[in-house]
């Protein structure tokens, strides 16, 4: 590394993972003018979308650059102290609801008093973070899409960025699909996949660095193209979720009132509510679809609903497993059904949608991580690396993005100081720390829980069974009271008589198996 490079580190993507890497590099003593962070959005943040809730206080570590982020960052909306989870069927809504004094962070509680969960709007938050990066002296460039990575000894004009991810002209269908890259000369592909990365190419221009950090987010073209993820050429709908949401304006006062929120003062941010639901709203829609499109008969959309209060708005949306989407159902119509379920409709009444959007979310789990997190001169962080914890009830990615960025920043600074930024050196630092971090420990420990929560039963008969049972147990219609257990049995009997799928799914063994899996939660 005798040759001088334009920068020490170039970071592609100014989301939480990229920003965190940049700030950590500063903390490790790398000069701001040796760090370049680029983002294809202009302004920065304008390409980003989340549900979303930020968990944990990872941002505290950057207090010297961010100050009182909790109060000052425009996209950090409300501190969540009120959490609801539950089941939603077309008629019934059943919630478990908690209001936790210790989540207010005002002290005087048995549990550690700390705010650690915020509703977030990323377009605003990312723009603010970018400002803070600039203030700290980091080079920030907005509106810059990176076409290619610069590889030592390789003429970037010898291939096109689309060559790496496009289907081949003579591609077959389904499993026989072929890719353009398979038709490129072998030596070229070998260099693209395993050469030393030493910068970026944009509009034919090269900028060099000792290390390139890929922080492109969940739909990362570079991670696919440069073979961090060996599977991204294959269709990966098995491990991808699509979020579809609206931001609905209700006004601050209405939100404070409707959701019983603390309004906020000079010292404490306003409080808010976060709700996540398993949905079984789609039975009749699915049956209609199956009739028209029998190819995917029996496939039931596995959907979660989310509802978060922001300062002036609420984020209302669904997240659907792409592999569970049957033909005949549009994802945006799945959202509409959620929005019109009476319990949700009541919450957004009088509101006006001000933004609509969709975003992918990886749900890789340990079985489907990128086959490598580093290459000679490069590494991958955050969503681009699939570092998302998703167990069907909860999706956490932003805290993981921030954390992986810190680990990357520390590792890169050390490797640069040691004069060795090879994949081996980056693995010995970054990958190693990543694999012993809470991110991987969480993924490992909760893998069985993920299996349980993704069980189709939870998106079909379970919410209905629970909802109907609760409905009858809590209701008084002038008839003799029946113990809950008996009601449950009666509802189960009726539901099993109703259709074949229920009869099969709700058999004793099926239910027992589900219960046994549920212990691992």
Q: Which of residues 259-288 bind another protein (CB under 8 A)?
A: 281-285, 287-288
Chain positions 35 to 74 lying near another protein, rule: CB under 8 A, are 40-43, 45-50
Chain positions 201 to 260 lying near another protein, rule: CB under 8 A, are 202, 218-219, 221, 235-237, 240, 242, 244, 246-247
Q: Which is nearer to another protein, 102 or 331 (CB)?
A: 331
Sign of the CA dihedral with 427 first, then 429, 432, and 433 last = negative
By CB under 8 A, tell whether 356 contacts another protein: yes
First to last CA, the chain: 49
CB of 213 to another protein, least distance (A): 17
Q: Which is nearer to another protein, 413 or 462 (CB)?
A: 462
Q: Which is nearer to another protein, 23 or 338 (CB)?
A: 338
Q: Which is nearer to another protein, 59 or 434 (CB)?
A: 59
Burial class (CB in 10 A: 0-12, 13-18, 19+), 472: middle
Q: Tell me how many residues contact another protein (CB under 8 A).
A: 85
Give me the helix-helix angle, 16-27 and 122-135, nearest 10°.
20
With beta carbons less than 8 A apart as the criterion, state whether 216 and 14 touch. no
Q: Which is nearer to another protein, 237 or 503 (CB)?
A: 237
Residue 241 corresponds to which tokens in the numbers above? 């979720």
Sign of the CA dihedral with 280 first, then 285, 288, and 291 last = negative
Can you list the positions of beta strands (E) in 232-381? 240-249, 271-280, 303-309, 313-321, 352-362, 374-375, 378-380
Chain positions 313 to 332 lying near another protein, rule: CB under 8 A, are 313, 322, 325-332
Q: Where are the alpha helices (DSSP H) in 28-91?
A: 63-66, 69-72
CB of 170 to another protein, least distance (A): 9
Pattern of binders to another protein over 135-164, x per CB under 8 A?
A: -------xxxx---------------xx--
Task: Candidates 64-72, 350-358, 373-381, 401-409: pick the segment binding another protein (CB under 8 A).
Answer: 350-358
By CB under 8 A, tell whether 342 contacts another protein: yes
Provide the greatest CA pair distance for the chain. 87
Residue 404 corresponds to which tokens in the numbers above? 């992986």
Cα 397 from Cα 387, distance rounded (Å):
6
Buried b (16+ CB within 10 A) or exposed e, 137-167: ebbbbbebbbbbbbbeebebeebebebbeee
CB of 244 to another protein, least distance (A): 5
Q: Which is nearer to another protein, 141 or 517 (CB)?
A: 141
CB of 228 to another protein, least distance (A): 16
Q: Which is nearer to another protein, 31 or 291 (CB)?
A: 291
Chain positions 97 to 126 lying near another protein, rule: CB under 8 A, are 121-126
CB of 200 to another protein, least distance (A): 12
Q: Which is nearer to another protein, 121 or 413 (CB)?
A: 121
With beta carbons less than 8 A apart as the criterion, state whether 334 and 284 touch. no
By CB under 8 A, tell whether 354 contacts another protein: yes
Pattern of binders to another protein over 72-91, x per CB under 8 A?
A: ---x--------------xx
By CB under 8 A, tell whether 492 contacts another protein: no
By CB under 8 A, tell whether 438 contacts another protein: no
Nearest residue to 325 (alpha-carbon basis) of 459, 191, 228, 458: 459
With beta carbons less than 8 A apart as the criterion, state whether 280 and 463 touch. yes
Plot region of 211 (φ>0 → left; ψ -120 to 50 → alpha; else → beta)? beta
CB of 335 to another protein, least distance (A): 6
Q: Which is nearer to another protein, 88 or 381 (CB)?
A: 88
Q: Which long-range contacts (CB under 8 A, 24 or more apart) does 449-452 make?
A: 449/391, 449/520, 449/521, 450/365, 450/390, 450/391, 450/392, 451/517, 452/392, 452/514, 452/517, 452/518, 452/520, 452/521
Task: Candidates 28-36, 53-61, 349-357, 381-389: pick the segment binding another protein (CB under 8 A).
Answer: 349-357
By CB under 8 A, tell whether 171 contacts another protein: yes
Query: How many Cα neighbours within 13 Å face the side chain of 498?
Result: 15
CB of 321 to another protein, least distance (A): 11
By CB under 8 A, tell whether 168 contacts another protein: yes
Q: Which is nearer to another protein, 51 or 409 (CB)?
A: 51
By CB under 8 A, tell whether 360 contacts another protein: yes
Residues linked to residue 209 through DSSP beta bridges, in sequence order: 7
DSSP helix/strand/coil, 520: coil
Phi (first) and psi of residue 341, to 5 degrees: -60, 130
By CB under 8 A, tell whether 359 contacts another protein: yes
CB of 428 to another protein, least distance (A): 32
């Amino acid at each position: 590394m005798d040759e001088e490079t334009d920068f020490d580190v170039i970071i592609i993507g100014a989301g939480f993972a990229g920003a965190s890497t940049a700030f950590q590099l500063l903390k490790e003593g790398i000069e701001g003018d040796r760090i370049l962070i680029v983002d294809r959005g202009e302004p920065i943040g304008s390409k980003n979308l989340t549900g979303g809730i930020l968990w944990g206080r990872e941002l505290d570590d950057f207090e010297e650059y961010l100050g009182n982020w909790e109060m000052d960052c425009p996209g950090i909306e409300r501190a969540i102290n009120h959490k609801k989870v539950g089941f939603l069927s077309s008629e019934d809504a059943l919630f478990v609801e908690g209001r936790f004094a210790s989540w207010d962070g005002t002290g005087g509680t048995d549990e550690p008093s700390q705010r650690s969960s915020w509703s977030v709007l990323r377009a605003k938050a990312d723009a603010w973070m970018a400002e803070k990066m600039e203030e700290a002296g980091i080079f920030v460039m907005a509106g810059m899409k990176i076409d290619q990575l610069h590889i030592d000894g390789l003429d970037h004009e010898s291939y096109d960025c689309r060559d790496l991810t496009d289907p081949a002209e003579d591609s077959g269908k389904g499993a026989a699909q072929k890719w353009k890259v398979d038709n490129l000369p072998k030596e070229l592909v070998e260099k693209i996949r395993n050469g030393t990365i030493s910068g970026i190419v944009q509009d034919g221009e090269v900028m060099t660095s000792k290390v390139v950090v890929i922080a492109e987010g969940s739909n990362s073209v570079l991670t696919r193209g440069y073979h961090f993820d060996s599977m991204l050429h294959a269709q990966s709908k098995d491990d991808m979720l699509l979020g579809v949401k609206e931001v609905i304006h209700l006004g601050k006062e209405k939100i404070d009132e409707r959701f019983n929120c603390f309004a906020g003062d000079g010292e404490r941010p306003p409080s808010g509510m976060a709700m996540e639901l398993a949905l079984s709203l789609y039975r009749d829609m699915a049956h209609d679809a199956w009739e028209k499109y029998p190819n995917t008969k029996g496939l039931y959309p596995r959907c979660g609903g989310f509802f978060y209060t922001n300062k002036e708005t609420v984020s209302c949306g669904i997240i659907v497993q792409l592999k569970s989407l049957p033909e005949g159902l549009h994802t945006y119509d799945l959202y509409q059904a959620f929005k019109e379920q009476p319990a949700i409709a009541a919450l957004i009444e009088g509101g006006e949608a001000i933004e609509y959007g969709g975003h992918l979310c990886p749900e890789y789990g340990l079985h489907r991580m990128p086959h490598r997190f580093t290459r000679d001169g490069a590494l991958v962080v955050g969503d681009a690396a699939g570092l998302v914890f998703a167990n069907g009830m909860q999706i956490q990615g932003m805290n993981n993005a921030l954390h992986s960025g810190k680990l990357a920043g520390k590792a890169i600074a050390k490797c640069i100081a040691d004069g060795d930024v090879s994949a081996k050196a980056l693995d010995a630092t970054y990958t190693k720390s990543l694999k012993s971090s809470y991110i991987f420990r969480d993924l490992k420990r909760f893998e069985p829980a993920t299996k349980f929560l993704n069980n189709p039963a939870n998106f079909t008969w379970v919410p209905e069974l629970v909802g109907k049972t609760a409905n009858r147990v809590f209701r008084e219609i002038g008839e003799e009271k029946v113990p809950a257990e008996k009601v449950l049995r009666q509802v189960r009997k009726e539901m099993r008589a109703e259709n074949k799928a229920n009869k099969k799914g709700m058999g004793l063994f099926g239910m027992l198996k589900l219960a046994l899996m549920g212990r691992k939660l």
